[in-house]
Structure 1
Amino acid sequence: MLRIGWFSTARGPSSRALLSAVHHAIQGGAIDAEIAYVFCSRVDGESNETDQFLVQVRGYGTPLITESFEQHRRVAGAKGLGFAGGKFAAWREAYDAAVLRLVQDRHVDVVLQAGYMLVWTPLLCERLRGLNLHPAEPGGPVGTWQQVIWQLIDQHSTRSGIYMHLVTPHLDQGPVVAFCRYPIDTPDLAEAWQEVGDTPVSELRAQLGEDLPLFQCIRTAGVRREVPLILNTLQTLAQGRLSWGVTDPPPAPLDLTGVVELQLAAVPKASGA
């Protein structure tokens, strides 16, 4: 059985949706695994969204561990995330050391970052085998999902993707473990692309921002594939068909495009039955 650790800051509903999807897949027998614990970098009362997540975790009966990043930052009299220019502030390293003390005795095979907004320091990367989801194809744009979408629009890209990568101290640059790709120049997006034309991204962001139809279409296409990619990656790990050590690089990336697309194609048929 695959033992999973779960790290989240839980800023919004997508964090709850991802946890729900994996929890129910495990409960339904689709994945031979268990979520051994959930760690959250916020505590009760810091955010309404996070509070809902914490209630969800407790409702599942999953062991919950919390350590407030905000409280550590406040005590240090600091601002920001404590990470700049590839270097971590001392208080930021101290926070990860505190986190490690809380989770190190709970043996897990892999730690999934799902909506976790902090870059791991080398200490955590050396001690935990972490996986993170990035909303781009291998070699594609880096940054937040919003930044990725704007870059895709700016470059008039015809394709995007999602990948699971090994967590390293270098944001979104860890070795890719599994991925899927999908087109973003399909007929149903043609009108949205035509509306954009050659308008500079700076103008599009100023005029409509994330309400831009093309932005929304690309976001929807990616979100639809996030859960299938995560579930199939975890299933592959649970079956022993994909493995690597904490410090050893993973094997060649696993292309799950075909599996993900087949599952998505089956969704309308299942819902209409």
Structure 2
Amino acid sequence: MYRLGWFSTGRDEAARLLLETVQARIQEGFLPARIAYVFVSRRPGEDRESDLFFELCQKLGLPTVHLSAREFEPELRRKDREAWRRVYHARVLEILPEEVDLVVLAGYMWVVSEEMCTRLPMLNLHPALPGGPKGTWQEVIWQLISARAAETGAMMHRVTPVLDEGPAATFYRFSLRTPDFLPLWEACEEKLLRKGLSALQAEEGESLPLFGRIREEGVRRELPLIVYTLKAFAEGEISWESPELPLDLSARIEEHLRTGAWR
């Protein structure tokens, strides 16, 4: 059975939904794997949202390991973030209960150490196509708008010491020039010409209709991307040595969105 490790800060409902969805696919047999452990970078009682995450893990019967990042060596974290990162993740490696085939970073809010990147095969989601914009999802969307991009997507990539630079394992793409998008682009273009990007960001920000629609369409596909990526690894369709990488999962994801079925 393919063994998964799960890293999360458990900070919001999205983190719970992702874990619950993947575990449901495991229980129904769609995903031939097991979650060997869930590591949480908060302790019970530290935050209401992460407490709900711990409760979900207990409900799902998933073993948890935790070490509060916020409370770990706070003086060192203030003085030398890189040194703190090494010491914190060295301790995390010591308390993990077993070896796994793949670790998923799912709402894990800390940059991992170089040693951890070397010791664990870790997978992370980045909300852009391979070779596309870097940064947070907000920064990615503004770069897409500034470039008048015709398409976007997201990828699952290997975690490396350089943020968002690891090789892609899988990805999906979708068009930003469908009939539903075109009126939003027209309205945005008029504002860009009058105000410029910086003023548009300051005045409308994430309430800009085009910004919101790009985010909405991306989020719809992110959870299926994670599930189908884990399935591809667990079934041996791909590995880190596969010459086919990155694997394009667009067709599978669009079929899932159309039918609601996992297949």
TM-score range, shorter chain: over 0.9
Structure 2: any 5+ residue segments left out of the alignment? none
Identify the residue that residue 7 of structure 1 maps to in structure 2: 7
Query: What is the aligned residue count?
Result: 257
Q: 2:255 aligns with which of 254, 262, 272?
A: 262
Is 1:102 equivalent to 2:95 in the alignment? yes
| Preserved contact between residue 193 and residue 214 of structure 1 (Cα < 8 Å) | yes
1:175–1:249 contact (8 Å) kept in structure 2:
no
Larger deviation, residues 48-57 vs 248-257: 248-257
Provide runs of 4+ in structure 1 moved above 6 Å: none
Q: In 1, are the aligned partners of 2:57 and 2:64 still within 8 Å (CA)? A: yes
1:134 CA drift (Å): 0.6
Q: Relative to 1, partners in 2 of residues 1:250 and 1:12: Cα closer, same or farther, differing over 3 Å?
A: farther
Q: 2:228 and 2:60 mapped to 1: Cα distance? A: 22
Correspondence 1:132 to 2:128: no
Given that 1:137 and 1:179 are in contact with CA atoms closer than 8 Å, whether structure 2 keeps it comes out as: yes
The change in CA–CA distance for 1:250 and 1:71 in structure 2 (over 3 A counts) is farther
Q: 1:11·1:49 contact (CA, 8 Å) conserved in 2?
A: yes
**Percent of aligned positions with the same letter in both sequences?**
46
Map Cα deviations across residues 8-63 of structure 1 (whole Å, 9 max, x no partner).
Answer: 11222211111111011111111111111101111123322222212111211100
The 2-side partners of 1:179 and 1:53 are apart by: 27
Q: Quote the residue 2:48 is aligned against.
A: 48
Q: Map Cα deviations across residues 185-208 of structure 1 (whole Å, 9 max, x no partner).
A: 211122221221151221122112
Give 2:207's aligned residue. Answer: 211
| CA RMSD after TM alignment | 1.8
Offset of 1:151 from its aligned partner?
A: 0.9
Matches within 5 A, 1:200-239: 200-239=196-235
TM-superposition CA deviations, 1:192-250 (whole Å, max 9, x none): 21221151221122112112111110011111111111111111111111123xxx687
Corresponding position: 1:92 with 2:85: yes
Counterpart of 1:125, as a letter, is C
Q: What is the CA–CA distance in structure 1 between the aligned matches of 2:45 and 2:197, rounded to whole Å?
A: 38
Provide the rounded CA distance (Å) in 2 between the counterparts of 1:145 and 1:256. Answer: 20
The TM-score with structure 2 as length reference comes to 0.92
Contact 2:77 2:84 in 1 (8 A): no
Q: Quick one: which amino acid aligns to residue 213 of structure 1?
A: P
